[in-house]
Amino acid sequence: MITHYPYENLGHANHGWLDARHHFNFANYYDPERQQFGVLRVINDDVIKAGAGFDTHQHRNMEIITYVRKGAITHRDSNGNVGRTVAGDVQVMSAGSGVFHSEFNLESEDTNIFQIWIEPNQLDVKPRWDSYKFPKEPTTDSLMLLVSGDGAAPLSIYQDALIYTGHLSQGTELIHPIKHQAYVLVSEGTLELEGRLLNMGDGLEVTEQSSIKLKALNNTKVLVIDVPQNKKH
**Residue-wise pLDDT tens digits, 186-197:** 999 999 999 899
Distance of CA 108 to the CA centre of its chain: 24
Average pLDDT over residues 6-10: 96
Give yes or no for residue 228 having a pLDDT over 90.
yes
Query: Is the per-residue pLDDT at 201 higher than 50?
Result: yes
Write the pLDDT tens digit of every residue in 107-123. 999 999 999 999 999 99
Give me the phi and psi of 8, to 5 degrees please. -70, -15
Write down the pLDDT at residue 32.
86
**SS3 assignment for the chain:** CEEEECHHHCEEEECCCEEEEECCCECCECCCCCCCECCEEEEEEEEECCCCEEEEEEECCCEEEEEEEECEEEEEECCCCEEEEECCCEEEEECCCCEEEEEECCCCCCEEEEEEEECCCCCCCCCEEEEECCCCCCECCCCEEEEECCCCCCEECCCCCEEEEEEECCCCEEEEECCCEEEEEEEECCEEECCEEECCCCEEEECCCCEEEEEECCCEEEEEEEECCCCCC
- pLDDT beyond 60 at 233: no
In this model, does residue 132 exceed pLDDT 50?
yes
Task: Please provide the average confidence, as pLDDT, over all residues in the chain.
Answer: 96
75-98, pLDDT tens digit by residue? Answer: 999 999 999 999 999 999 999 999
pTM surpassing 0.75? yes
pLDDT class for 28, splitting at 50, 70, 90?
A: confident
Average pLDDT of 55-71?
97
Q: Residue 232: which pLDDT band, with cuts at 50, 70 and 90?
A: low
Q: Under CATH, to which class is 2-227 assigned?
A: mainly beta
pLDDT of residue 22: 97
Neighbouring residues of 53: CB distance < 8 A, sequence distance ≥ 6: 17, 73, 74, 102, 103, 104, 105, 106
Where do the domains of the chain lie?
2-227
